[in-house]
Amino acid sequence: MARVATNITPELFLKKQQLLTKRDSERLPNVGCILLFDEDAQATMNTRCAVKVYRLRTTEKEYKREQLQELPVTINGTTEEVIKKTVKKVEEYINGASFSDGEKLIQLIYPSEALKEVLVNAVIHRDYSLNDDIHVRIFDNRVEIQSPGKLPGYMTIENLYTERFSRNPNIVRMLHNLPNPVNHDIGEGLDTAKNELKKAGLVDPSFEETENAFIVTIKHQRLASIEDVILNYFQENPTAALTNKLVRQLSGEDDMQKVKIALQKLRSMGKIRVENENVSAFNYKYIKA
C-alpha cells in the first residue's frame, strides 16, 4: 500500500482491487490476493504454484536425470518476487551457457529482455487452478518455458501477437500499478521478445500447446542460412575444422540431413573441403578450402 501511495484501509484497498471474496458473512483473501502478497502461497493454497528452473547439458528433446547440471531450483514467494528471482536465476545459467566444439567453447548469448518478457507472461497468465509449477528448462541450444494451462479465452497460437486476453486480470493490474513494474500491461510482451531476438540475430520464439500446458521455446538458432553460419565460422576461425554436429550447434538447426546438404553445397562450390577423405563420411571434418 505504501508503494502505491494509498491511505485507505487495508480491507478497502483489497476490496477495491478485487482481491477479497465474500464467503458467508466474511470477506476473505482470494487466490489472486494470496499469490500477490503471501510469501509462501504454495503452502497456503496447498497446491503447486512455484517455478522450477533446470540446467540440462544436452540438446536432445528427451533428457535423462544424469544430464541435469544440478538439481532443479524451486523458486517461491510473492508473484513479483517469483518473477524477479526466476529472471535472475535464468540469467545466471544463461551467462554460463556454452558448448565445446572439441577445441574451444562456443558461448551462447540470449537477449535478457526477451527471456524476461516470456517469463513474466508465464507467471502472470498461467492457469493457477492446475496443480503444477512453471518449468523453465535451459538446454545447450534453447530455453523452454512450460506454463500450466492452455491459452486462455479466445487466444490461439495464430493470434498471439495481435490479440489480448488476461486469465488473471487482478494480478496483472496490481503488478502494473507498482513502481518499476515487472509488466507494462499493454500486450507488448511477446512483440518485445520477438524484436529483441531479431536484434540478436536469432529466430522468433516458437509456441506449442499441449493438453494441459503452453510451451514457449527460445532457440539459439540463427536467422542466417546454414551456409552463412558455416562461412562466418571459417571467417572467424580460418584454421579450424568443423563437423555436422558443430554446424547444428552453431546454427540451431536440428536436422542432420539439412546440414549435410548445406555442407555438400559449399563443398561443390569449392568453399570448403574434407580434411581427411579416408575416414567414414559420418566422421568427416570440414576445413576452409
Per-residue CA distances from 117 to 4, 60, 145, 166, 262 (Å): 23, 25, 11, 15, 34
pLDDT in tens, 123-176: 999 999 999 999 999 988 889 999 999 998 899 999 998 888 889 999 999 999
Transcribe 3-42 into DSSP letters.
Answer: TTT--S-HHHHHHHTT-EEEETTEEEE-HHHHHHH-TTHH
Decide if pLDDT at 188 tops 90: no
**CA angle, residues 129, 131, 133, in degrees to nearest 5:** 110
Decide if pLDDT at 95 tops 80: no
For residues 96 and 209, which has the higher predicted lDDT (pLDDT)?
209
Mean pLDDT computed over 195-224: 88
For residues 69 and 50, which has the higher predicted lDDT (pLDDT)?
50
**Nearest-10 crossing angle of helices 169-177, 112-125:** 130
Cα 67 to Cα 77: distance, rounded to the nearest angstrom: 28
Residue ranges of the domains in the chain? 10-219, 226-288
Predicted confidence at residue 226, as pLDDT, reads 87
Q: Report the CATH fold assignment for 10-219.
A: Heat Shock Protein 90 (3.30.565)
Compute, in degrees rounded to 10, the torsion defined by CA atoms 123, 125, 127, 129. Answer: 80
pTM above 0.85, yes or no: no
The distance of Cα 159 from the centroid of its chain, to the nearest Å, equals 19
* Domain 226-288 indexed as CATH 2.20.25: no
Predicted confidence at residue 148, as pLDDT, reads 97
Mean pLDDT computed over 119-126: 93
Residue 99: DSSP 8-state = E
Decide if pLDDT at 186 tops 60: no
Contact 123, 84 (CB under 8 A): no
